[in-house]
Amino acid sequence: MEEIFRYVGTNYPTILKLTIEHLYLVSISVGVAILTGVPIGIIITKDQKLADAILYIASVIITIPSVAMFGLMIPLLSLVNRGIGFWPAAIAIFLYSQLPIIRNTYTAIHNIDPALREAAKGMGMSDWQRLAKVEIPLAVPVIMAGVRMAVVMNIAVATIAVYIGAGGLGTIINEGITGTNSTKLIVGAVAVSLLAIIADYLFLFIQKMLTPKGLSGEIS
Amino acid sequence: MIRLENLTKHFEVPGKEPIIAANNVSMAVGKGEICIFLGPSGCGKTTALKMINKLIPKTSGKIYIDGKDTDTMDPIALRREIGYVIQQIGLFPNMTIEANICVVPDLLKMDKKQSRKKARELLEMVNLEPNIFLKRYPRELSGGQQQRIGVIRALAADPPVMLMDEPFGAIDPINREVIQDEFLKMNAELGKTVLFVSHDIDEAVKMGDKIAIFREGVLEQCDTPDEILANPANNFVKEFVGADRALKRLKLIRVNEAILPFRMAVRPDDPLDSVAEKMRSREAHIAVMVGPRGRARGFITKEEIKGDQSGIVSEYIDPLPGTIHENDNLHDAVSQMYSHATDWMPVVDDDGAYKGYITQHIVASLLGEVPRKPGEKIT
What pLDDT, on a 0 to 100 scale, did the predictor assign at position B183? 92
User: Which residue from B minimizes the CA distance to A114?
Assistant: B90
State the average pLDDT for chain B. 88
pLDDT in tens, B62-86: 999 999 999 999 999 999 999 999 9
What pLDDT, on a 0 to 100 scale, did the predictor assign at position B96? 93
Minimal CA separation from B6 to chain A, in Å: 23
In angstroms, the CA B84 to CA B147 distance is 12
In angstroms, the CA A104 to CA B138 distance is 25
Whether residue A105 has pLDDT greater than 90: yes
**Long-range CB contacts (< 8 A, 24+ apart) of B204-208?**
B204/B36, B204/B38, B205/B229, B205/B248, B205/B251, B205/B252, B206/B180, B206/B251, B207/B34, B207/B36, B207/B180, B207/B183, B208/B34, B208/B35, B208/B36
Minimal CA separation from A203 to chain B, in Å: 21
- B111 sits in the region (left: phi over 0; alpha: psi -120 to 50; else beta) called beta
What pLDDT, on a 0 to 100 scale, did the predictor assign at position A196? 94
> What is the percentage of chain B residues whose pLDDT exceeds 70?
97
Cβ neighbours of B88 in A, within 8 Å: 113, 115, 118-119
- Inform me whether the C-beta atom of residue B54 falls under 8 Å from chain A C-beta atoms: no
Whether residue B367 has pLDDT greater than 80: no
Longest dimension (CA), chain A: 69
pLDDT in tens, B324-361: 998 888 888 888 888 888 888 999 888 888 888 888 88
CB contact at 8 A, B289 and B313: yes
Tell me the whole-structure pTM to 2 decimals.
0.79
In angstroms, the CA B92 to CA A133 distance is 9
- Inform me whether the C-beta atom of residue A212 falls under 8 Å from chain B C-beta atoms: yes
Coil/strand/helix, residue B202: helix
Which of the residue ranges A62-66, B84-88, B241-245, B375-379 would you say has the lowest mean pLDDT? B375-379
Whether residue B372 has pLDDT greater than 70: no
User: Which residue from B minimizes the CA distance to A213?
Assistant: B94
- Inform me whether the C-beta atom of residue A119 falls under 8 Å from chain B C-beta atoms: yes
Contact criterion met (CB < 8 Å) for B86 and A113: no
What pLDDT, on a 0 to 100 scale, did the predictor assign at position B16? 86
Whether residue B369 has pLDDT greater than 50: no
- Residues 198..257 of B with a Cβ closer than 8 Å to A: which? none
pLDDT in tens, A22-81: 999 999 999 999 999 999 999 999 999 999 999 999 999 999 998 898 888 888 888 888
Cβ neighbours of A129 in B, within 8 Å: 107
Cβ neighbours of A118 in B, within 8 Å: 55, 86, 88, 90
- pLDDT category at B379 given cuts 50, 70, 90 is very low
Minimal CA separation from B46 to chain A, in Å: 13
In angstroms, the CA A72 to CA A84 distance is 11
What single string gives the DSSP state of each residue in B108-171? Answer: TT--HHHHHHHHHHHHHHTT--HHHHTT--GGGS-HHHHHHHHHHHHHTT--SEEEEESTTTTS
Asked if ipTM goes beyond 0.90, one says no
pLDDT in tens, B154-201: 999 999 999 999 999 888 888 898 999 999 999 999 999 999 999 988
Q: Nearest-CA neighbor of B289 among B270, B262, B274?
A: B270
In angstroms, the CA A36 to CA A59 distance is 16
- Inform me whether the C-beta atom of residue B132 falls under 8 Å from chain A C-beta atoms: no
Cβ neighbours of A121 in B, within 8 Å: 55, 79
Contact criterion met (CB < 8 Å) for B86 and A118: yes
CB contact at 8 A, B230 and B249: yes
